[in-house]
Amino acid sequence: MALRGGDRELGSGLAAARHPDPARAILSLWLDAAGRRLPGPLYPGFDTLGTLGHLRRTGYDHSWFILTRKIIAREFALSGSEQNPDLTNKDRRAMVTSRFGGAVPGPVQAFLDHGEDFVTAAALPELVSRMNEITGGEPQLDASAIEEEITARDRDATRPFGKDGQLVAIRGARRYLGDRLIRVSRPHRLLDPAAGPLIAVRLHVLTRKTLGGLHTDLSSRVLSVTGDPVPGLYAAGEAAGFGGGGMHGYRSLEGTFLGGCLFSGRAAGRAAAAAAG
């Protein structure tokens, strides 16, 4: 699934707001369209296909992230190199300010200020009211029910031995120093005023790609509709369909695709060389 911005389709992951990819904001509380917390292990950044199936069964094409300014400053990922100028421009000062200093990166702030799927408020009742406004109140979100979900999550936010499944998984995953320094926020209570204001992001289900490709044999030769090799035609990489359902299976991850590129390219090159004599 992907994020949509105007006539552009960007990003990867399960669900999307218009344009940025929030799927890695793993400290966020993920609610379905009716305001119910998604069950474990359907947390941000975890089981994408499982989460997609769960959301499609709700009868709605959107869900919600609830997070804080502190979380969005560190964890909200924007797809596309142009959305991360501090990294792509090798701007050390901007990197220190945004990645280390806790400031919200400029591109993210632009979506907070102008994004049609973003709402911000100092208190939860106001936030939920604005969430209802942008959906036309369908389905109607109940502020007290959402507060119960957040309070239950917050009880374990700062306790090292809390039992909240999402927070337990997050603590186990945060052993890499590089992530702790620049990519993730310290676990905290969502209702902590010092971490605010509160932010809600409406996420839409949107298909961006199928991870399919041309039908090939083990030599990367493209096969016709009859199953016969097309003379002189080979396919490699994503065009060969190595991603979804190929060598990595239905639940393949984009981070594993480089191996498929190398493998299918090697097979195609060898087969073409052998055919050429």
Structural domain harbouring 55:
3-205
What pLDDT, on the 0 to 100 scale, is given for residue 11? 32
Q: Is the pTM of this model over 0.85?
A: no
pLDDT (mean) for 152-169? 87
Mean pLDDT within 50-59: 91
Chain segment 82-118, per-residue pLDDT in tens: 666 776 777 777 767 766 666 787 888 888 898 899 9
Q: Are 240 and 219 in contact (CB under 8 A)?
A: no
187 and 231 housed in the same domain: no
Within a domain: residue 216? Answer: no
* Residues 189 and 241 both lie in one domain: no
d(CA 269, CA 21): 36
User: 128 by DSSP, 3-state: which?
Assistant: helix
Tens-place pLDDT, residues 8-44 = 233 334 555 555 555 467 889 999 999 999 998 898 8
Q: Report pLDDT digits (tens) over 184-195.
A: 778 899 999 999
Domain end: 155, 174, 205, which one? Answer: 205
- My answer on whether 179 and 242 are in the same domain is no
Which pair of structure tokens corresponds to residue 195?
């971490």
- The values of phi and psi at residue 70, to 5°, are -65, -40
Last residue of a domain, one of 179, 205, 231: 205
Alpha-carbon gap, residue 131 to 124, rounded angstroms: 10
Q: What are phi and psi of 66, to 5 degrees?
A: -120, 125
**28 and 158 inside one domain:** yes
Domain identity same for 196 and 227:
no
For residue 145, give the CATH number of its domain: 3.90.700.10
Domain boundary among 180, 205, 230: 205
Per the structure, how many domains does the chain have?
Answer: 2
pLDDT of 173 over the 80 cut: no
- Residues 225-243 have pLDDT tens digits of 999 999 999 998 878 766 4
**Cβ(23)–Cβ(36) under 8 Å?**
no
| 17 and 147 assigned to the same domain | yes
Same structural domain, 107 and 18: yes
239 in the same domain as 126: no
Q: Note whether residue 210 is domain-resident.
A: no
- Domain identity same for 232 and 196: no
Instruction: Please give the structure tokens belonging to residue 58.
Output: 């709700």
